[in-house]
Amino acid sequence: MSHRKRRALALTALAVLLVGGQTAAAGEETGGHRPGDWPSWTGDKGGSRFAAAEHRITQRTAGKLSLKWAFAYPKNGFPAKSQPAVVGDAIYFGSPDGKFHSLDARTGAARWSFDLGTVVPGAVVIDGPSVARGKVYFGDTNGYVYALDQRTGKLVWAKDTEPHVAGQHTSSPLYHDGRVYIGSSSGENINPDRNYPCCTFRGHIDSLDADTGELAWRYFTVPEPKAVGTWPSGATRYEPSGAGVWSSPVIDERTGTLYVGTGNLYSGTTGDFDTLLALNARSGAVKWKQQVTKADTWRLLCGFPDADGYCPGQKEGTALDYDLGATPTLFQVRGRTYVGIGQKSGVFHTFDARTGEPSWRRQLSVPMPGGGLSGVQWGTSFDGRNIYVATNWANPGTLFALNPANGDVVWQTESPADGCTTGGAAQHPTVCKRAHTPAVTSSPGLVYEGSVDGKMRVYDSKDGKVLWTFDTIRDFQGVNGLTGRGSAISGNGGAVVANGMLYIQSGYWPSYPSDYGNVLLAFGL
């Protein structure tokens, strides 16, 4: 066996040991997954976003990555958000035009396509799919959850899991032990109409039977909203509301504990908002919960100069939008399991996974009141040595490597200073930001993070040095016959590293002007 292969196997074994067996167990339990696959949003069930078995893309070879194929989306004003899943020789993802696709992962050749319009008109997939036991699971913008046959793309079941008309799934599903777990969120609070009767949405996390889609249990994050009076416009005022589940859940398979974060309130002052929940995966019962912000009631009108009376808490400085929008990450230190999660306030929190007791916190960026764009957005990564966290509009956004034992900064690398002055972004200086929206991904020796400047970068996990950069703000000829153009590297997910390939979605807010739709890009050696 070569030295390179021995090193890759050693790193994989180390990661499995430190993460608590999450990587190995995920492949065994779901069936049919190879070690190099990426079958779900975090790659494994514990939230590591670590491609432990990757041995082809290394510190030595990363600089040789080149574009192998592109899939172009039709232009319809909707960004590319669905992070792909890769299992075997196939890649699975949703398209902004309401389609769901399976392609050959190596060549981009079409395998099958499913039209969501056959179930519910106007729906789009913006979460990432989960592939398990011959099915592909995902949610849509209308609150439906789907199961498709992995081989043929035929519909197995589709369930409307959202009682609210504005409900949607940005949360990606997690499969475990015959169940599918998925959160629900809503954009009800961004309605600018003062005459709108705000608000009635209730965030929730659902457990569905993986074979039938039937609801096993549902945990609501706020009590049922009640009419409590009127807004200044005379519109009915409902409280409490909000606390959507924007991010994807993770699970500790050894204890059967599901972990998931929640968002801010839309109205009222009570509920499990800005909270990390630890739930019994079989019953939905609360094991513990930690609320990281004590007051956070926010709606779009909070940002308006004449919003008095429409934004409860604004005068007290509590309309913050400090969601726990990132997915949790499980990790072990000296045999003890912890759960960490990033917040839009710029803080990374860690708790004892069994008791919920706080361990350490690290402030990584200055909070941005009334928007939360400066902090941690979608998710972090753990490679068995460091926790990797990226901040977004933090002037500039910065990629951090943290010591899992105490949160000390091992290294930090700012989004490169030339990001907005080179490549396609240089033509649009008012759009470009040195910011990181995507979730972070890692593989042995490497960290992957994209930027609003449209550039995808690979970093050395040892010191944070940039090893490879690719500018996506350019035109691409798609394997599907369309022309596409890249934009900001997409949030709602991040880079997917599987079987010697790197996959990214390019097309997110803020968007760069183009006559074309956005693109899914596949890179290899």
Q: Which domain holds residue 306?
A: 62-524
- pLDDT at site 15: 43
pLDDT band for position 4 (50/70/90)? very low
In the chain, the amino acid numbered 31 is: G
Q: What is the largest CA-CA distance in the chain?
A: 74
Quickly list DSSP for 167-232.
EE--SPPEEETTEEEEEEEE-GGG---TTS-----B-EEEEEETTT--EEEEEESSPPPEEEEE-T
Q: How confident is the model at residue 303 (pLDDT cuts 50, 70, 90)?
A: confident
Q: Is residue 14 part of a domain?
A: no
- Check whether 150 has a pLDDT greater than 90: yes
Say yes or no to pLDDT of 27 above 80. no
- Residue 198 — very low, low, confident or very high, per pLDDT cuts 50/70/90? very high
Give me the mean pLDDT over the 306-333 stretch.
Answer: 83
Which residues neighbour 316 within 8 Å (Cβ) at sequence distance 6 or greater? 295
Tell the residue number behind the tokens 């008109």, with chain if given: 121
**Whether residue 26 has pLDDT greater than 60:** no
Per the structure, the count of domains in the chain is 1
- Residue 71: CATH number of its domain: 2.140.10.10
What is the model's pLDDT at position 441?
98
Alpha carbons 250 and 27: distance in angstroms, whole number = 15
Is residue 24 included in any domain, yes or no?
no
For the segment 212-267, what is each residue's pLDDT rounded down to a tens digit?
999 999 999 999 999 999 999 999 999 999 999 999 999 999 999 999 999 999 99
Q: In the predicted model, is pLDDT for residue 31 greater than 60?
A: no
104 burial type by CB count under 10 A (0-12 exposed, 13-18 middle, 19+ buried): middle
Does residue 397 sit within a domain? yes
Specify the pTM: 0.94
What pLDDT score does 21 carry?
38
Average pLDDT of the chain, as a whole number: 92
What's the chain's Rg over C-alpha atoms?
Answer: 21
Contact 258, 181 (CB under 8 A): yes
Model confidence at 313, pLDDT cuts 50, 70, 90, reads: low
Q: Which residues contact 474 (CB under 8 A, 6 or more apart)?
A: 423, 424, 485, 486
Mean pLDDT confidence for 63-79: 95
Domain assignment present for residue 109? The answer is yes
> In this predicted model, what pLDDT tens digit does every residue of 362-396 receive, in sequence order?
999 998 866 789 999 999 999 999 999 999 999 99
Q: What is the pLDDT of residue 76?
A: 87
Closest CA to 92 of 76, 73, 111, 77: 111
Residue that wins the pLDDT comparison between 20 and 338: 338
- Which one is predicted more confidently, 406 or 13? 406
Does residue 28 carry a pLDDT above 60?
A: no
Query: What are the residues whose beta carbons fall under 8 Å from the beta carbon of 33, sequence distance 6 or more?
Result: 26, 27, 39, 87, 131
Residue among 444, 499, 356, 455 at smallest CA distance from 15 = 444
Q: What pLDDT digit, counting tens, does each position of 417-453 carry?
A: 999 999 999 999 999 999 999 999 999 999 999 999 9
Give the whole-angstrom CA distance, residue 442 versus residue 16.
14
The region of weakest confidence among 110-124, 180-194, 359-373, 435-449 is: 359-373
Residue 477, pLDDT above cutoff 50: yes
Q: Is a pLDDT exceeding 70 seen at residue 333? A: yes
pLDDT greater than 80 at residue 338: yes
Domain-located, residue 8: no
pLDDT tens per residue across span 480-522: 999 999 999 999 999 999 999 999 999 999 999 999 999 999 9
The pLDDT assigned to 312 comes to: 65
Q: Residue 3 pLDDT more than 50?
A: no
The torsion angles phi and psi of 8, rounded to 5 degrees, stand at -65, -40
